[in-house]
């Protein structure tokens, strides 16, 4: 293989990987409040598959004040077709906070919720039992006094920390604006994202190509 062919092959691979790395998908969720303790729209597993690797999710949201009393502004992530149990323990975030029961706490003025879904987690999203294909599989939320409007998914380009947990009293104070949200845990995941890994492969390919040419010329 001559140098021109090697350079062309590496360039083509680098272009493909670069396109993968910058892919971001926006997904519309709910334009209106779905009701107290209801399920939000589901972000399909296919959206995660289209990106691959660990996926960063940024939810655009709005708090929905109740007609009377204090609001309970929360959203719980779940593998909805499998169960309504929280999967918060399997996610990572430098900014989100959650109660011990897995519900994310939404503070006054908060308009986004960001977290990372590891590849092993979204790979576990399953459809309803007996359903053919993965059409219904995905990530949904049990919500209360919150409207999840849309989600943007992209390759997780950096590790994020363990989600900070708060007590019921602490979450109530945060939702009322009487206390600031605690800082996120500084401990980060060690898992390398799929897109970072494949980018490294391109670098190895380039070095291998140069080495091959050098060997041939000797």
Backbone angles phi, psi at 139, to 5 degrees: -105, 125
**Mean of all residue pLDDT scores within the chain:** 84
Render pLDDT for 95-154 as a digit per residue (tens, 0 to 9): 999 999 999 999 999 999 999 999 999 999 999 998 887 789 999 999 999 999 999 999
Does residue 161 carry a pLDDT above 70?
Answer: yes
Which residues make Cβ contacts (< 8 Å) with residue 7, sequence separation at least 6? 209
Every domain of the chain and the residues it spans: 23-191
Which pLDDT value is given to residue 181?
Answer: 83
Which pLDDT value is given to residue 207?
Answer: 47
Does residue 10 carry a pLDDT above 70?
Answer: no
Which pLDDT value is given to residue 182?
Answer: 82
Which pLDDT value is given to residue 64?
Answer: 97
Which pLDDT value is given to residue 35?
Answer: 96
Q: Max Cα separation, the chain?
A: 83
Residue 105 CA, chain-centre distance (Å), reads 17
Q: What is the pTM of this model?
A: 0.78
Q: Provide the phi-psi class of 211: left if phi over 0, else alpha when psi is between -120 and 50, else beta.
A: alpha
DSSP H or E segment with residue 22: helix 3-22
Calculate mean pLDDT across residues 151-169: 97
Contact 59, 150 (CB under 8 A): yes
Eight-state DSSP code of residue 100: T
Strands 97-99 and 164-166 come out as parallel
Render pLDDT for 34-92 as a digit per residue (tens, 0 to 9): 999 999 999 999 999 999 999 999 999 999 999 999 999 999 999 999 999 999 999 99
Closest by CA position to 19, among listed 55, 43, 51, 57 = 51
Closest by CA position to 121, among listed 188, 38, 57 = 57
Does residue 21 carry a pLDDT above 70?
Answer: no
Closest by CA position to 149, among listed 33, 11, 70, 52 = 33
Which pLDDT value is given to residue 59?
Answer: 98
């Amino acid at each position: 293989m001559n140098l021109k062919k090697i350079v062309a092959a590496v360039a083509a691979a680098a272009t493909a990987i670069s396109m993968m790395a910058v892919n971001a998908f926006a997904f519309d969720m709910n334009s209106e409040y779905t009701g107290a303790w209801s399920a939000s729209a589901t972000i399909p597993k296919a959206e995660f598959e289209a990106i691959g690797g660990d996926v960063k999710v940024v939810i655009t949201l709005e708090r929905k004040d109740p007609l009377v009393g204090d609001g309970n502004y929360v959203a719980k992530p779940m593998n909805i077709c499998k169960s309504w149990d929280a999967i918060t323990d399997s996610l990572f975030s430098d900014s989100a906070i959650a109660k011990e029961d897995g519900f994310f706490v939404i503070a006054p003025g908060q308009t986004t919720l960001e977290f990372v879904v590891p590849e092993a987690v979204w790979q576990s999203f399953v459809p309803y039992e007996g359903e053919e294909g993965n059409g219904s599989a995905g990530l949904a939320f049990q919500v209360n006094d919150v409207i999840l409007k849309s989600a943007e998914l992209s390759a997780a380009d950096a590790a994020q920390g363990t989600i900070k947990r708060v007590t019921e009293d602490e979450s109530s104070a945060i939702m009322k604006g009487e206390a600031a949200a605690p800082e996120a845990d500084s401990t980060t995941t060690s898992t390398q994202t799929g897109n970072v890994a494949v980018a490294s492969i391109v670098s190895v390919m380039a070095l291998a190509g140069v080495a091959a040419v050098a060997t041939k010329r000797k």
